[in-house]
Amino acid sequence: MPRNASFPWLKHQLMQTQRPHYFKNLKLHRQSLIHRNAIFNQNKYRFKASSCPNIYRVSVLTLPKDEDEKWYTELLDLVEGMFDFTLFLELHFFLLSLSTIILFIWFIVPYFYLADHMPKYGYSEEDASLTIANIGITNTIGMIALGWAGDQPWMNITKTYAICLILCGISIAGIMFFTTNYIMLEISAGFFGLFLSSSFSFTPGIIVELVPLDRFTVAYGLQLLCMGIGILVGPPYAGHLYDVTKSWEQPFYQAALWTVISGLLIILIPYTKNRKILGKGPVEKEVEGSKDYIVFSIILVLLLLVLTGVVLYFTIDCLLKSF
């Protein structure tokens, strides 16, 4: 009787462990960060073909370290990666980063100042607390729902993210416009939380589409940097606008317009071909089938310029009143 014939399951498992391609049929979601190639994106699993530098052959062997390699080499590589800002020179990543900065400057306005705005219209502190809770609940639901939708093959997360940001801006305007109507105020606040959740659900997936997986850590770190800059700048600037105008209308309506502008910047990504803004050379990742839609892109740019001009006019007019 053949060896292990009485234990077919054990024999199957032993055979699987001896196969170098047992990760081949691993099924993961399309937008999952745990992409099956990502586990082999470390130097110890990588062989690089000199004739085709972009093609890697996976191996379970570990490459030996160079004898001349110093103990601090990996630390220097880490520091060098932390200060690598070359991704900002690519058009699509620059548009995503600019959109992120604008969004995180202004989306914080309802979160920070809605509780101060509502009592001026006769609402109690409890009403304001319930409205903030409404935003948090819908935001949580949105992250789950949009996170699931982003994994589906029929979902274009870049276009969906752009639409969500535009609707998020409209909902911020609705919060101010329907302040005197409590039901409509709560509906607008709920939509604000729902559409804002797209930023947390879709940003990692969009980054995966824009850069190679071995650059994902650097790219996502730069996006977190943009988020931090926005959160630091937004609240004090919105508070200054209130100090000048003695009203929350200017900060809220500006937040609405800037959030719409943030969405329009994202729309440009799927309708333009990625390229270097400065310098020459290939981009980090070529997207198959991407091309420039000239007419549509021109219309979007003109709309961006008009909206930016309008919001800058009100901003400058407001700031001049402070002197």
Taking each continuous run of H as one helix and of E as one strand, the counts in the chain are 10, 2
**Quick one: 21 and 104 in the same domain?**
no
**Quick one: 100 and 228 in the same domain?**
yes
Q: Given pLDDT bands bounded at 50, 70 and 90, which one contains residue 65?
A: low
- Whole-structure pTM value: 0.76
Q: Length of the chain, please?
A: 323
pLDDT (tens digit per residue) in 89-137:
888 999 999 999 999 999 989 888 998 899 988 898 899 999 999 999 9
**Quick one: 100 and 47 in the same domain?**
no
Higher pLDDT, 256 or 34: 256
> Comparing C-alpha atoms, which of 121, 75, 100 is closest to residue 220?
100
Contacts of residues 31-35 at CB distance under 8 Å and 24 or more positions apart, as own/partner, are 31/150, 31/151, 31/157, 31/204, 31/205, 31/208, 32/151, 33/204, 33/208, 33/216, 35/208, 35/213
Asked if 251 and 242 touch (Cβ cutoff 8 Å), the reply is: yes
Domain that holds residue 165: 85-320
Q: Which residues pair with 57 in a beta bridge?
A: 47
Residue 205, Cα to own-chain centre: how many angstroms?
8
- The verdict on residue 67 lying in a domain is no
- The verdict on residue 264 lying in a domain is yes
Q: Which phi and psi (to 5°) does residue 99 adopt?
A: -60, -40
The count of structural domains within the chain is 2
**Quick one: 49 and 143 in the same domain?**
no
Count of Cβ atoms closer than 10 Å to residue 215 Cβ: 19
H, E, C per residue of 244-286 = HHCCCHHHHHHHHHHHHHHHHHHHCCCCCCCCECCCCCCCCCC
Q: Which of 59-63, 121-125, 148-152, 161-165 has the lowest mean pLDDT?
A: 59-63
Residue 16, Cα to own-chain centre: how many angstroms?
38
Residue 178, Cα to own-chain centre: how many angstroms?
29
**Quick one: 148 and 21 in the same domain?**
no
User: Mean pLDDT over all residues of the chain?
Assistant: 80
pLDDT (tens digit per residue) in 172-221:
999 999 999 999 999 999 999 999 999 999 999 999 988 888 888 889 98
Q: Given pLDDT bands bounded at 50, 70 and 90, which one contains residue 277?
A: confident
Count of Cβ atoms closer than 10 Å to residue 137 Cβ: 13
**Quick one: 46 and 143 in the same domain?**
no
Q: Given pLDDT bands bounded at 50, 70 and 90, which one contains residue 33?
A: very low
- The verdict on residue 117 lying in a domain is yes
Count of Cβ atoms closer than 10 Å to residue 133 Cβ: 12
Q: What single DSSP character describes residue 312? A: H
**Quick one: 214 and 255 in the same domain?**
yes
- The verdict on residue 268 lying in a domain is yes
- The verdict on residue 73 lying in a domain is no
Q: Residue 305: enclosing H or E segment and its boundaries?
A: helix 294-320
Higher pLDDT, 51 or 296: 296
Domain boundary at 58, 74, 98, which?
58
**Quick one: 133 and 262 in the same domain?**
yes
